[in-house]
C-alpha cells in the first residue's frame, strides 16, 4: 500500500469525509436530547426595566378599587343591619299593639300624649330660660320701665300726679244756687262709670274717697269749698262721657230741672293739674320682708 492510500479517506467508507471537502451544512448549535432534532437558539430576553422609587409608594388602580369596594360593602352591610333591626322592632311593636285591648290602647295613647305635652313644656321652659339668660340686661331695663309706668298710673289714679289726655270740660251753671250736693256726686259717679280715668272739679282733685257735702250754694268737696259755675275737667273717652251726661234723667236733665244748665266741650287734650295730698298711714309701716 502506497503512502497516498494510507493517508486519504477510504472511498468505500461512506462515513469518511475528506478533509478538503467543504462542510455540506452548518453544524447545529444545539440538539434536543429527546427528539434529536436540531433546535435553533432563541434570543436572550431583554432585561425588565427597574422600578422607579415613587412607583412603590403609589397604590395601583386595582388596589384602590379593591379598597373602595370593601368600604362600600361595609357601609351597605351596616345599613342593611340597621334597616333589619328597625323592621324587626316595628313588627314586634305592631304585633303587640294588634293584640292589646282597647283599654290598653287608650292608656298607651294617653301616656304618649302626656309625654308629648311634658316634652313640649320642657322645650318651652328651656327656651324661656335661654331667652331670659340672653337678655337679662334688657329685661332688667324693661322691668324698671314697667315699674315706673305702674307708679305713674297709680299716681294718676290717686291724684298725686298731674295728667293730660283726651277728655271733656263740663261747666255746670247754677244761677239760682239750688243745685244740691247729690247732683254733683251723681255727675262724678256717672263720669267714672263712662270711663273717666281722672278728674278735677274747680281746683279740687277727685280721688277714690272724695265726698261732696254742704247745702245748695255752699257745696264742699273733701272739705274745700267750690262755687258755681262748677267746672269739671275729665280725662277719658270724650264721646262716652258726653253721652252719659245727656241720657234721659241724667245730670243734664237734673241740672235743667233746678234752673241750671250744662255745657260740654270735647277736646283731644285736657290737663288735670290739681294734686291731691297723699294720706300718711298712722298705724301701718312697710314690711321689711324678713
Confidence of residue 12 (pLDDT cuts 50, 70, 90): very low
Least confident of 107-116, 152-161, 197-206: 107-116
Residue 39's nearest CA partner among 26, 30, 50 is 30
Handedness of CA 266, 267, 273, 277 (dihedral sign): positive
Across 209-217, average pLDDT: 91
pTM of the model: 0.51
Q: What is the pLDDT of residue 29?
A: 47
Where in the chain are the domains?
A: 74-158, 162-272
Judge: domain 162-272, CATH 2.40.50.140: no
Higher pLDDT, 21 or 76: 76
Residue 260's nearest CA partner among 144, 138, 175, 156 is 175
- E strand map for the chain: 30-31, 38-39, 163-173, 198-201, 204-205, 212-215, 218-221, 224-225, 230-235, 261-272
pLDDT reading at 235 higher than 90: yes
Per DSSP, the three-state class of 164 is strand
Least confident of 148-152, 213-217, 218-222: 148-152
Confidence of residue 95 (pLDDT cuts 50, 70, 90): low
Amino acid at each position: 500500500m502506497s503512502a497516498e492510500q494510507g493517508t486519504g479517506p477510504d472511498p468505500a467508507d461512506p462515513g469518511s469525509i475528506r478533509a478538503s471537502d467543504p462542510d455540506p451544512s452548518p453544524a447545529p448549535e444545539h440538539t434536543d436530547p429527546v427528539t434529536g432534532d436540531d433546535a435553533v437558539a432563541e434570543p436572550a430576553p431583554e432585561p425588565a426595566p427597574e422600578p422607579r422609587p415613587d412607583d412603590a409608594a403609589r397604590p395601583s388602580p386595582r388596589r384602590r378599587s379593591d379598597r373602595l369596594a370593601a368600604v362600600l360593602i361595609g357601609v351597605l352591610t351596616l345599613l342593611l343591619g340597621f334597616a333589619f333591626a328597625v323592621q324587626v322592632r316595628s313588627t314586634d311593636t305592631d304585633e303587640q299593639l294588634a293584640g292589646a285591648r282597647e283599654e290598653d290602647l287608650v292608656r298607651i295613647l294617653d301616656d304618649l300624649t302626656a309625654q308629648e305635652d311634658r316634652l313640649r313644656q320642657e322645650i318651652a321652659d328651656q327656651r324661656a330660660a335661654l331667652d331670659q339668660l340672653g337678655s337679662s340686661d334688657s329685661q332688667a331695663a324693661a322691668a324698671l320701665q314697667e315699674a315706673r309706668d305702674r307708679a305713674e298710673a297709680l299716681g294718676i289714679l290717686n291724684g298725686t300726679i298731674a295728667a293730660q289726655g283726651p277728655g271733656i270740660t263740663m261747666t255746670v251753671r247754677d244761677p239760682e244756687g239750688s243745685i244740691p250736693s247729690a247732683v254733683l256726686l251723681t255727675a262724678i259717679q256717672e263720669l267714672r262709670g263712662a270711663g273717666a280715668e281722672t278728674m278735677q272739679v274747680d281746683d279740687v282733685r277727685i280721688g277714690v274717697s272724695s265726698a261732696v257735702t254742704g247745702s245748695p250754694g255752699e257745696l264742699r268737696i273733701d272739705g274745700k269749698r267750690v262755687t258755681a259755675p262748677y267746672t269739671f275737667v275729665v280725662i277719658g273717652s270724650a264721646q262716652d262721657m258726653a253721652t252719659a251726661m245727656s241720657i234721659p234723667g241724667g245730670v243734664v236733665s237734673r241740672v235743667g230741672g233746678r234752673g241750671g244748665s250744662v255745657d260740654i266741650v270735647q277736646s283731644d287734650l285736657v290737663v288735670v293739674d290739681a294734686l291731691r295730698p297723699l294720706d300718711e298711714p298712722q298705724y301701718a309701716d312697710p314690711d321689711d320682708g324678713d
